[in-house]
Chains A and B, each alone.
Chain A
């Protein structure tokens, strides 16, 4: 009898586990737009250290609707997959999620994000328009941009007093480098950063990735080829270091920081490291300029993050207030910019004298973000970026011609949206 009892318990336990795992998909979707209560905010690993401050301020003002910040991995891919898993399981525990600019369309098209219209509409007039566009899908705003990002050119002002504004100027400036350094570096490892660098080169020569409808590929053009050739020739002619084919953000920053690079394309976060890190060899020797282009100023791709309300949230009213809260000048300027050196999405901090004194690159960054072009806002973005990464990488290695790479991407984008 002992055994039987044991057996029953074991079977019961096993079935409950199986049921618990299985039934999460049958939960009802969340509450209405006025429901309030504690919420969870999900975001990638807080490397800039801003969220404790934000949560503190919010919780003090809303003792009954506290926010809990859940941090994910520091890898964007894993953050994406984590959100996907919880959304597929219709998890009401993910009230507000951080959405990278490139995920908006995919999550919106899958019906996971609450559209910010009607009762939940957001005033976007104080914001920079680039980030707003990147959070908009099919004419509807789906997420509240809270931090932006734009590419910048870091240069050694001790060697190059005036930064280059075009690629040909940059290439001729390479002659001024010392023998122990390489000329230009960016992010050319096969990952999302390569997509950013590649599309910037393409935009910089007047090319584009997709037509204005956001879907039809438009990358197999002479302009795009000229743009991509800036990078391809860099590896061929040596103005880009051979080892840059392994660079992601951090290794490229380290190379510049230790004085091994004269020009570096990177994000604003690098500034704090170059000025603040003890091992920085370039503390007072570098400047920040807009990206150069083919025949004038270049164009950055738009980075950054937005916050979106999950369809399955049970406290959408509170979630909506939280979105408005992180758009306030106080949070944008005093927390995101001054604590985390994140790029604000509202215009005010960029002309704030005290902020500019602390972060002299702000006007340059505003220009970079203002003219930035988002990567394609498409629900099929994962396939699109993979096609760009693989083909551009092979073109940089020289195993694929620029023309062929662009042709493959053109076909890849068509295939992604068509099948």
Chain B
């Protein structure tokens, strides 16, 4: 900030020759930046300490735990009936258990690959729907018309409702004699078989988080200069062409950030399916499985959390690389170019 002030033309009035001015400016900038970086470090130090405490420590702790034998897997002492001591180093035992468990149906180990599949299905389908619907909502909210603020508020309501409440709402509507069946004239037991149960969860998630995408896209729309559209109109481009060649490319950075956030969010989805279906009918996601496993073996659950963490991290990394998502600067650069 200090450097920026130094460059203001007004503050240079009293300096004489151009070389002098240059030298002095350099000196000032160097001093300022040295001071800046010190100040910056000192200012962010508390944040870093806090992040290490609340993020670094649990992550490392989970990884350490995941390589130790859980007490609950150490066997029972035949006389006392107590569990033997855990804590022995077991390397990748728990990771092998998840990836390669020859477990009977109904055990957590058996659920691992199905839950990976479920998680991916949820992610792909909900994000596609949310992007399409969210973009449409953003276009509507962007238009200037009477009652726009009411529409904006209405669209944002689902996003403001806590997920647990959302889940209960949809659970109620999807009951066998609920409003959904009444409206559709169907008799589907929504939470009673695989795909209806999955759709129940996905519809709830789409309903809740589309406004989030809409909000980010709306922010993207608002920085597109109006003259671009005007000149396109002058050139005879129709609405669809304007959408494809102006709106979409310019809103892309914002959209990609939104998609990235959503993907990371859905990959660790827990509350909505847990309340709606309790993980029955192949709606067990990786996070639900980890919580279920927590009740049997904490360290196996730690291994599963670590697997989930690495998986999400990789997906994020690939998304950022492939689409060169610019998380920090969003659209500012693109518009200038």
Contact = CB atoms under 8 A, between A and B. Distances in A.
A382 interface: yes
Interface string B192-204: 1100000000000
A190 B280 contact: yes
B107 A11 contact: no
Interface in A1-26: 3-4, 6-7, 10-11, 13-15, 17-18, 21-22
B296 A382 contact: yes
A96 to B, nearest CB: 21
A272 to B, nearest CB: 24
B49 A245 contact: no
A415 B176 contact: no
Interface string B48-59: 011001000100
B278 A390 contact: no
Interface of A: 3-4, 6-7, 10-11, 13-15, 17-18, 21-22, 77, 80-81, 84, 108-111, 137-138, 140, 189-191, 242-243, 245-246, 251, 379-380, 382-383, 386-391, 393-394, 397, 400, 408-409, 411-412, 415-416, 419
Given A81-B294, A109-B83, A111-B82, A387 B278 contact: no
A408 B192 contact: no
B105 A14 contact: no
A4 B296 CA distance: 47
Contacts of A386: 106-108, 292
B295 A7 contact: no
Interface in B11-70: 39, 42-43, 45-46, 49-50, 53, 57
A22 B53 CA distance: 10
B53 A242 contact: no
B151 to A, nearest CB: 36
Contacts of B42: 3-4, 6-7
Given A81-B295, A110-B71, A382-B295, A412 B106 contact: yes
Contacts of A415: 103-104, 107
Contacts of A419: 73
B65 to A, nearest CB: 12
Nearest to A410: B104
Contacts of A140: 81
Interface string B152-173: 0000000000000000000000
B191 to A, nearest CB: 5
Given A4-B42, A245-B192, A191 B53 contact: no
A109 B81 contact: yes
A242 B108 contact: no
B193 A397 contact: yes
Nearest to B174: A246
Nearest to B191: A246
Contacts of A383: 107-108, 296
Nearest to B50: A14
Given A108-B82, A408-B104, A415-B103, 12 more contacts: A4-B42, A7-B42, A14-B46, A14-B49, A110-B82, A190-B279, A190-B281, A246-B176, A246-B189, A380-B296, A386-B106, A416-B296
Interface residues of B, number: 38
B5 interface: no
A13 B49 CA distance: 10
B175 interface: yes
Given A189-B280, A386-B107, A391-B106, A10 B292 contact: no
Contacts of A411: 104
A386 B109 CA distance: 12
Given A18-B53, A190-B278, A243 B107 contact: no
Nearest to A245: B192
A109 B86 CA distance: 13
22 contacts: A3-B39, A7-B45, A10-B49, A14-B50, A14-B53, A18-B57, A21-B53, A84-B295, A109-B76, A110-B71, A138-B80, A190-B279, A191-B278, A242-B189, A379-B83, A387-B106, A387-B107, A389-B106, A411-B104, A412-B103, A412-B107, A415-B103
B107 A7 contact: no
Nearest to A392: B106
A188 B324 CA distance: 49
Contacts of B292: 386
B155 to A, nearest CB: 31
B199 to A, nearest CB: 15
Nearest to B79: A138
Interface in B96-130: 103-108
A238 to B, nearest CB: 14
B49 to A, nearest CB: 4
Which 8 pairs across A and B sit closest by C-beta, in order of nearness? A138-B81, A10-B46, A190-B280, A390-B106, A243-B176, A411-B104, A387-B106, A382-B295
Nearest to B274: A77
